[in-house]
Amino acid sequence: MKNLSLAIIVAAFFLFEGVSSASAETRTNITRPNIVVIFIDDMGYGDIGPFGSKINDTPHLDRMAKEGRKLTTFYVASSVCTPSRAALMTGSYPKRVGLAKGSGHIVLFPGDVHGLNPNEITLAEMLKQAGYATGCFGKWHLGDAKEFLPTNQGFDEYYGIPYSNDMWPGLKRWKFPPLPIVRNEKVIAQIDTMEEQADLCRQFTEEAISFIKRNKEKPFFAYIPHAFVHGPRQARELFMNNAENATEAQIEEVDWSVGQILQTLRDEGLDQNTFVLFTSDNGGAGGCVNLPLRGRKGTYYEGGYREPTVVWWPGTIPAGTECDEIMTTMDMMPTLAQLAGGKVPADRILDGHNVVDLLLGKPGAVTPYDRFFYHAADQLKAVRSGPWKLIQERKENVLYHLVNDIAETKNVIKDHPEIEKRLLSYMEAFKEDISNNSRPVGIAANPRTLLPRDGVEGEAAYTPTLLIGK
């Protein structure tokens, strides 16, 4: 009996070891994770605790970074809203898909004739084809004509605002219609007051949580492009009362939102199989902090393009680590295709790369980028290669060594003519490539605003904002 008991104990030990080893193997070879992308609007590089903020209290993002990985050189492909979102959705530079700007402004306006071409294969379409449930909750800003809305671009469901929250009658420089809230393709409400603006973060968060809970039995993609912290700014009373100003309040409410999303994943037992990306669509606007970077939203300096980014996937992404290799939002298409078992479109040029090894902290992994390009609207302005960044200013070329000079303060072009020559050749080659290999912008069949302008009768009330007065 004693020998039998010993045999049982030994067998149990090896069985447990086998299960433990199998579990570890499963954790390191997880495929088809759930995917959550949290895309903040106009947040600065230095606005959250993991990236050095001493102003804003962001405990949930602090925890996310401790449990995940900071990406300290993560770029968007434009320093303003519409083109940045086009790049995330398509894996391509905005100019390649015809959305380096709107039809008559730097971004799309209500009723704009332009939008993301339905012939583009979006991140959501790729994941949907791979068997994912797909939902978008927040600011879209890739066209408000029916054919451009999220539910016609790969998302099963949508709840949010179709463009920036400042595109409403409160901004007197333009004759905007009221700001609509859209569910799928139907306007269900409008935002008339700052108190209603302040409630957007809560609404988008709760809609995303509902989607996660309803789809927890299958793989899902939740895209949460918040309207915060784009102006005009106001958060809910709880956050306004505990902050020095509306900017701080909104950043702290965004942190609350992240906490709600991550806690839902933990509570539902999904955290070990969910990849979460937190970043911003471009650099911070007035009131936000972009330090130690130079520039802000709308510029081609680092403060316009480099974003505070954290990735989280407990048990798979190494906790408490950071990566300084170049990655971009354009990489999400090929990277998530590999993780999800999806297919990257093979009939068009994509500019993004598969960066799975960088995200997972594989030893020796390096950036796939030997060059990265910066635009101002549709004008190519700069290129980065390794530590070097060349900017074509109006009167002269400027060269910075970003590793030694992250704030872009010292022009070292006179000391490195060979670097200038090489980077200029990259820019010329890219101009030719983008000219020969770009795809058409989407054109709306019947451009009109979703809501009528107040005080205007008939169809004229739905005139696209950019056409009024022309």
Cβ atoms of residues 42 and 251 within 8 Å: no
User: Given the DSSP bridges, would you call strands 306-312 and 274-280 parallel, antiparallel or unpaired?
Assistant: antiparallel
DSSP conformation class of 453: P
Report CA-CA distances (Å) from 178 to 227, 381, 465. Answer: 16, 36, 11
Residue entry with tokens 């005080």: 455
Cβ burial of 452 (10 Å; 0-12, 13-18, 19+) is middle
CA 372 to chain CA centroid, nearest Å: 17
* 435 three-state secondary structure: helix
The CATH number assigned to the domain with range 378-439 reads 3.30.1120.10
Distance, in Å, from the CA atom of 199 to the CA atom of 161, rounded to the nearest integer, reads 12
Residue type, 2: K
Enter the pTM of the model.
0.92
Question: What pLDDT does residue 469 have?
Answer: 65
CA gap 296, 80 in Å, rounded: 10
Q: Which residues are catalytic?
A: 81, 141
Token pair for 267? 């509570």
pLDDT at site 470: 55
Residues 6+ apart with CB under 8 A from 90: 96, 97, 116, 120, 121, 122, 123, 330, 333, 350
Contact 365, 386 (CB under 8 A): no
Cα 128 from Cα 370, distance rounded (Å): 31
DSSP letter for 326, please: -
What is the dihedral angle through the alpha carbons of 302, 279, 355, 332, rounded to the nearest 10 degrees?
A: -110
Domains 33-359 and 378-439 share a fold: no
- Which residues are bridge partners to 443 per DSSP? 114
Find the distance separating the first CA and the last CA of the chain, reported in whole Å: 96
Beta bridge partners of 180: 190
Per-residue pLDDT 10s for the chain (470 aa) are 334 333 333 333 333 333 333 333 333 345 799 999 999 999 999 999 999 999 999 999 999 999 999 999 999 999 999 999 999 999 999 999 999 999 999 999 999 999 999 999 999 999 999 999 999 999 999 999 999 999 999 999 999 999 999 999 999 999 999 999 999 999 999 999 999 999 999 999 999 999 999 999 999 999 999 999 999 999 999 999 999 999 999 999 999 999 999 999 999 999 999 999 999 999 999 999 999 999 999 999 999 999 999 999 999 999 999 999 999 999 999 999 999 999 999 999 999 999 999 999 999 999 999 999 999 999 999 999 999 999 999 889 999 999 999 999 999 999 999 999 999 999 999 999 999 999 999 999 999 999 999 999 999 999 999 999 65
Q: Are the C-beta atoms of 397 and 408 separated by less than 8 Å? A: no
Where do the DSSP E strands lie in 205-335? Answer: 220-225, 274-280, 306-312, 321-323, 327-328
Residue 389: enclosing H or E segment and its boundaries? strand 388-392
Task: Give me the CATH topology for the region 33-359.
Answer: Alkaline Phosphatase, subunit A (3.40.720)
Query: In this structure, what are the phi and psi dihedrals at residue 130, rounded to the nearest 5 degrees?
Result: -85, 5
Where in the chain are the domains? 33-359, 378-439
